Amino acid sequence: QVQLVESGGGLVQAGGSLRLSCAASGRTFSNYVMAWFCQAPGKERSFVAAIRWRGGSTYYADSVKGRFTISRDNAKNTVYLQMNSLKPEDTAVYYCATDQGSWYLSASRQDYEYWGQGTQVTVSS
């Protein structure tokens, strides 16, 4: 089992920045891919970004390319999401997830076995 705890969310004005953190504990040595998803009220959970632990390859949703950066700190078992140039439409609960079954950088929710509790990001106009 893996436990994921997100932090760093909050209220920010449009154009501002936030950095989300996802701290992993437990059976972390089998984490092939970690990803960020977001879910706005009344919407389905959507893919944001993913990173492969081995090699650090990344994959981003088109809506966040050039604005968000996913990174990892192997020593701390932590994944980050640096969010710049935030827009009101970025407002959502952001969830961290990990895939322990494949190295594929998947954008599909069903490929991720473990999820954090989420952290709220609110971007005001």
Q: What is the pLDDT of residue 31?
A: 79
Q: What is the pLDDT of residue 73?
A: 94
Reduced to 3 states (helix: H, G, I; strand: E, B; else coil), residue 94 is strand
Print pLDDT tens along the chain (125 aa). 899 999 999 999 999 999 999 999 998 777 799 999 999 999 999 999 999 998 999 999 999 999 999 999 989 999 999 999 999 999 999 999 999 989 999 999 999 999 999 999 999 99
Could you tell me which of 36, 20, 24 has the C-alpha nearest to residue 95? 36
- Give the tens place of pLDDT for each residue, 59-71: 999 999 999 999 9
Whose structure tokens read 């952001």?
94
φ/ψ of residue 90, rounded to 5: -80, -10
Cβ contact 43:91 at 8 Å: no
